[in-house]
Structure 1
Amino acid sequence: MKRRLVQWGKTAIAAALMAGLPIMVSDYVLSRNGLAEGRVEAREMAERVLERAEAVIGEGLTLLAEARKRAVVDCGYDSRAAYGHLAFQASYVQQIGLIDEAGTLICGEPMGALAFPARLPAADPGDPSVMIGILKGNGDSQAVVTLRVDPRQRLVARFDRDVLDVAAGPSYFRDASRIEVFLEDGSVWLRTAGNWAPEKEPGAIVETATSHRYPIKVVASASAVAAEDTMAPLRAIVLVVATLSGIAVFAVNLWNNWRGQAGDAFTRAVENQEFVPYYQPVFDLFTGEIRGCEVLVRWRRENGTMVPPGQFLPYAEATGLIRDITRQLMAKTVEDCAAIYRRNPHLKLSINLTAMHFNDLEILDEIQDIYGDSGIAFDQLCFEVTEQHPLKDLNLSRAIIGRIQALGAAVALDDVGTGHGGLAYLQKLGVDIIKIDKMFIDHIGTDHSSQTIVDTLVELANQLGLGIIAEGVETQDQLEHLKRVGVATAQGYVFSPPVPAKAYLEMLEKGAPAARADTAAPTAAAPAPDRRDAA
Structure 2
Amino acid sequence: MSSQRKYVIRIAAVATSLAAFLICTDLALTALTRDQISRQLSDLSKVALRRSEAAIDYAGAMLTQMAERGVMDCSAGALQKLRLQVYQGSAVKDIRAVDRDGSVICSAYSETLEFDNGWAKRDDMLESADRVLRLFRVEQFTGAALGVLRDVNAQQSLAGILRIDANQLDIMPIRLRAQSDVTLALLDGQPIAGYRPNGGQSELSDAISFTSVSDRYPLRAIIHVNPSALSTRQGGAYLPTMVAAGVLGILFGLLLASYLSRPLDPVTELDRGLSAHEFKPYLQPTFNLKTGDIVGSEILARWEKADGRTVPPMSFIPLAESSGRIEKLTWQILALALRELQPELKRDKRFKLSVNITPRQLLSDGFVDRLRQVVAAAAVSTRQVVLEVTEREELADLNKATAVVKELSEFGFRVALDDVGIGHSGLSAIQRLGARIIKIDKFFVDAITRDQSAVVVVQMLVALAGELDMGVVAEGIEHQEQVDALIACGVEEGQGYLVSPPLPMGRFKDFLELRRACSGEAPKASPELAA
TM-score of the two chains, using structure 1 as the length reference: 0.48
Higher-Rg member (1/2): 2
TM-score of the two chains, using structure 2 as the length reference: 0.48
